[in-house]
Structure 1
Amino acid sequence: MNPFAALRRTPLAWRQTSHRPMRLLAAIAGVSFANVLVFFQLGLASGLYASQKRPLQRLNGELVMVSRRYTNLGEPLNLPRSRLMQALGVQGVEAVTPLYIGKTDWLNRDSREKKQALIFGLAPENPALRIPELEADRGKLLRPDGLFFDTLSKEAAGPVARIVAKDGYYDTELRGKRAVVNGLFTMGLTFAADINLLTSASNFKTWFPDQSSDDIQLGVIQLQPGVSREQVQATLASFLDPSVRVLTLQQLEAVEVDHWRNNTSFGLIFNLGVLVGLIVGAIIVYQILYSDVSDHLPEYATMKAMGYSDRFVVGIIVQESVLLAALAFVPSLVLAIGLYAVLANSTSLLIAMTAQRAVAVFTLTLTMAAGSGWLATGKLRRLDPADIF
C-alpha cells in the first residue's frame, strides 16, 4: 500500500491540524510573529544598506577613482587630484570632476545643539553629484558662504527646511565661520552623519583649510556616449599609480555594502535577529506538534499496529508543520508590508517588500517548520504499539 496515496484520499494532516481551532489559531499567531521578526530584520538590513548607497547612486559619471584603501563613504581617504587629471588622456573619457567630502559639526542655532554633518564639495560647472535642485539653480552654490541642506536630515538639525522655504535662507556657522543655507535638496541620510550638506569646492576649502588643495576624496570620470566603461577601466588600471583604483558605480556600491555588512556589527546583529526569529518559530511549531503527538499517541500506535510504516505516520506530522507554515505566512506577509510602510515613513529608509525577500522567508519558514515537525516525531518514531496496548 502506498501511504502517500492514502494521505491524498484522506487529508489526515489537515483534519488533525484543524481539529482544535483555538490551538490552530495560536500556532498561526506564533509562527506569524516569528516570520514578522525575520521580515523586520531583513527589511531593516536591506533598507540601511540601500540608504548607504544613496549618495553613490547620485554620482555624475560612469567610473569613480578612489584611494586603494577606500572602505566607505563616511571615511574617505585622500588621493591626489593629479591622478584624476591623468584620466583625461585616456580615449573615451569625456570629462572628470572631483568630489570633496568632509565631516563637521552642525550647530542648531536655536537649541545650540551640535550634530555631525557630512558636507560634499562640488565643482559648480560640473557637479560630481546629480542633484535636480542644484541643476535648477547652480548660482546659489557660488555664494561664498552658501550651502544646500538635505531636507531628509534629522530633525535635531533644527527647522532649517521650513525657514529656508519661508525666508529663502538660514544663518548658522560651520567650524567657527558663518554659513548660509540658501538652497534645499533631497537625498537621504547614511550611517556617516545626521545631516547632508552641499557646497562649492571653493567654499569647502574655506571650511576645511587643513586639507591640501590637491587632495580630493573621490574622482568622478565621465565617459563619451557608447564607450565601454570596462575597457576604459582596464586602460586606467594599466598605468595609474597603485595607490588608487578605478571602480564602476556598481562596484563602489558593493564595496560600501560589504563594509557595513562584514566589517561592522550591523551584519552580525541583523543575522542574529533572523536566527532568533527562526528559532522562535521552530520552538512554537515543535511545541504544538509535540503536544499533538502526545495527545494522539494511541491512535498513532493503532496505525502502526495496522501496518502503516513510520514514514507514513511521521509524514502526517511533517505535513501538519508545512500546513502551519503556509497558513501563518500570509498574515505575516501582510503585517510585514504594513510594518515596512511605517518604518519607511518614520525613518526615510528605503524599506519595501520584494518578491525575492518574500520567497526567501517563505522557504526559510517551510524548512524551519518541517525540521521542527520531524523533531516532534521523536517519540512517535520510537513508539512500539505493544507498549501502548
Structure 2
Amino acid sequence: MFSLALRLIAHKPLRYLVALFGISVAAGLALIQFGLYRGFRENASVLVDHTDGDVWICAQYHRNFDFPRLLGRQVLEKTRAAPGIAWAYPMLIVFAQWQFEDGRSQTVQVVGYDASQRVGGPWAMDFGTPEDLNGPGFVSVDTVSNRKLRNATTGTVGEINGIRVEVRAVTSGIRSFQGNPIVFASMETARAIGRLGADEIHYVIAGLSPGFVPQDVLPQLSSLDYVEAYSKSEFGLMAQRYWLESTGAGTALAFAALMGLIVGVVVAGQVLYTSTIEHLKEWGTLKAIGATNGQVTTAIVLQAVSWALPAHVVAGGLLWVAMQLIEGKGIHPSVDLPTYLFAGVLTVCVCVLASMLSVMRVMKVEPADVFKG
C-alpha cells in the first residue's frame, strides 16, 4: 500500500509540489503564530520567572508588572520580620530615556535590584556578573536589543534621564514584552534615574524558610497596609494575563494559529480529494481484484502522511527564517524541540483528518463500477 501511495503521488509530481507548498505554508503559519504566542507569554513574565524567590509583594490594586505603584516605606522591613521569611530584597521598575549625543533617545526599562545580591538581577550573562553593577551609574545592556542603543557594549558611556551611566555587563536574550531594551542597575542608580526617594521601591521579593510554603505566609503578608502578596507562579501568571488577555494580543495570535490549521485542513483535503477523484477507477480496480476497504483506506492515509511529514520540515524552515527576520525586535517565536515534535504530530493528524473525505468517497466505489462505461 505504501508503494502504491507513492506511485500515485509520483504520477503528477508538479501537483504534489504545489500541494506540498500550500500545506507547508499553512503549517508554518500555525507554527510561527503559536511560537509567537509562547514568546509573548515568556516575555510578559520574564523578570518574574528568572528571579529567585517564592513570594512577590506589590502595592494594592496591582494590575501590570511593568507599570507598578510605589510600596509603603516600611513594607520591606515588615516583610523581613514576618515568620517564615528567610530573606527579602527590593526591586524597582523605571522607564526612562537613553539619550544619544545627537539629541535622539531610546526608551529603556531600567530594573533596579540590590546589586550586592543576585535577587532580581540579570542572568544569561555574556560578559560580567550581576555584582559588577554594584556602583554608581553602572548598568547592563543586552545583545538582542543593543542595536537600539547604537551597539552599546562594555565600557560604553551614556546618559539615562540625565544620569551618566557606564555599561559594565552584557546579557544575552533578555527581552521585554514591549520591545524596549532591559537595562539592569543597582537600586541607587535606578532611583537616581527615576528621581525616586532613597527608600522607595516597587516590589519586595522574598524567600521562604525551610518547611514553609507560600500559602503559609501569604495571608499575613497580605494583611500589611496597602499591599498584595502572591506566590511566584501566581505573579508570573498575572503578568502574562494582563498583556495577553487584557490587550487582546493573545486572542489575536491564537486566532491566527487556528486559521493556519483551518487552511491546512482545507488545502490538504482539497488536494487529496482531487487526487482521489482522478484515480477513482484505479481504486475501484484495486477493490475488484480483492483489496479490502481497510487496505484502500491505509493507502489514502499514507498519501496524507507523505504530504504531512515533508510539509512539517518545510514549516520548521519557515519558522527559522521568521526567527532570523524578527530577531532583536523584542518579539521572538519560542518553539522548543518537544513543541516542534508535537506540532509534527498535529500536522500529520490534520492531513489524515483531511483525507477522510477521500476515504468516504472511495468507500462508495463498487468493484463493478470499473467495468461500466
TM-score bracket, normalised by the shorter chain, equals 0.7 to 0.9
Aligned to 1:170: 157
Deviation string, structure 1 residues 38-68 (Cα, Å, up to 9, x no partner): 2222223323332334322442433321245
Q: Secondary structure at the match of 2:91?
A: strand
Q: 1:116 aligns with which of 75, 89, 107?
A: 107
What is the alpha-carbon distance in structure 1 between the residues aligned to residue 93 and residue 111 of structure 2?
A: 5
Q: CA RMSD in A?
A: 3.5
Q: Secondary structure at the match of 1:109?
A: coil
What is the alpha-carbon distance in structure 2 between the residues aligned to residue 171 and residue 50 of structure 1?
A: 29
Give me the identity figure in percent: 20
What is the alpha-carbon distance in structure 2 between the residues aligned to residue 17 and residue 304 of structure 1?
A: 19
What is the alpha-carbon distance in structure 1 between the residues aligned to residue 201 and residue 179 of structure 2?
A: 19
What is the alpha-carbon distance in structure 2 between the residues aligned to residue 88 and residue 101 of structure 1?
A: 21
Q: Which moved more, 1:234-243 or 1:291-300?
A: 234-243
Aligned to 2:65: 73
Q: Secondary structure at the match of 1:320?
A: helix
Q: 2:183 aligns with which of 181, 191, 197?
A: 197
What is the alpha-carbon distance in structure 2 between the residues aligned to residue 31 and residue 59 of structure 1?
A: 41
What is the alpha-carbon distance in structure 2 between the residues aligned to residue 169 and residue 324 of structure 1?
A: 52
Aligned to 1:339: 321
What is the alpha-carbon distance in structure 2 between the residues aligned to residue 32 and residue 246 of structure 1?
A: 47
1:98 maps to amino acid: P
Q: Secondary structure at the match of 2:106?
A: strand
Say if 1:160 and 1:338 are closer, same or farther in 2 by CA, change over 3 A.
closer
Deviation string, structure 1 residues 116-136 (Cα, Å, up to 9, x no partner): 221223334446423463544
Give the conservation status (yes or no) of the 8 Å contact 2:221–2:229: no
Aligned to 2:354: 372
Q: How far has the Cα of 1:237 moved from its partner?
A: 2.0
Q: Within the alignment, does 1:34 sit opposite 2:34 as a pair?
A: no
Q: How far has the Cα of 1:378 moved from its partner?
A: 5.8
Q: Secondary structure at the match of 2:176?
A: coil
Q: How far has the Cα of 1:99 moved from its partner?
A: 0.8
1:157 maps to amino acid: L
Q: How far has the Cα of 1:338 moved from its partner?
A: 3.8
Q: Secondary structure at the match of 2:312?
A: helix
Q: Secondary structure at the match of 1:49?
A: helix
What is the alpha-carbon distance in structure 1 between the residues aligned to residue 77 and residue 274 of structure 2?
A: 72
Deviation string, structure 1 residues 180-201 (Cα, Å, up to 9, x no partner): 3353332522124522233443
Q: How far has the Cα of 1:369 moved from its partner?
A: 0.9
1:115 maps to amino acid: Q
2:168 maps to amino acid: G
Give the conservation status (yes or no) of the 8 Å contact 2:96–2:160: no
What is the alpha-carbon distance in structure 2 between the residues aligned to residue 374 and residue 169 of structure 1?
A: 62
Alignment of 1:1-389 (within 5 A): 12-67=4-59, 69-110=61-102, 112-126=103-117, 128-131=119-122, 133=128, 135-139=130-134, 141=135, 143=136, 146-152=137-143, 153-161=145-153, 165=154, 168-174=155-161, 177-186=162-171, 188-192=174-178, 194-209=180-195, 215-224=200-209, 227-230=210-213, 232-238=214-220, 240-241=222-223, 243-302=226-285, 313=296, 316-333=299-316, 335-336=317-318, 338-339=320-321, 342=324, 346-347=328-329, 353-377=335-359, 379-380=361-362, 389=373
Structure 2: gaps of 5 or more residues: none
What is the alpha-carbon distance in structure 2 between the residues aligned to residue 85 and residue 125 of structure 1?
A: 17
Say if 1:324 and 1:116 are closer, same or farther in 2 by CA, change over 3 A.
same
Structure 1: gaps of 5 or more residues: 1-6
What is the alpha-carbon distance in structure 2 between the residues aligned to residue 253 and residue 271 of structure 1?
A: 20
Q: Which has the higher helix share?
A: 1
Say if 1:240 and 1:282 are closer, same or farther in 2 by CA, change over 3 A.
closer
Give the conservation status (yes or no) of the 8 Å contact 1:104–1:118: yes
Q: How far has the Cα of 1:219 moved from its partner?
A: 0.5
Give the conservation status (yes or no) of the 8 Å contact 1:102–1:120: yes
Q: How far has the Cα of 1:284 moved from its partner?
A: 2.5
Give the conservation status (yes or no) of the 8 Å contact 1:98–1:219: yes
2:48 maps to amino acid: L
**Count of paired positions:** 364
What is the alpha-carbon distance in structure 1 between the residues aligned to residue 16 and residue 115 of structure 2?
A: 64
1:70 maps to amino acid: H
Q: How far has the Cα of 1:102 moved from its partner?
A: 1.8
Q: Secondary structure at the match of 1:216?
A: coil
Deviation string, structure 1 residues 71-123 (Cα, Å, up to 9, x no partner): 4432223332423322222344232221111212332222x223222122333
Q: Secondary structure at the match of 1:184?
A: strand
Aligned to 1:3: none
Give the conservation status (yes or no) of the 8 Å contact 1:87–1:236: no
Say if 1:40 and 1:200 are closer, same or farther in 2 by CA, change over 3 A.
same
1:137 maps to amino acid: D
Give the conservation status (yes or no) of the 8 Å contact 2:114–2:187: yes
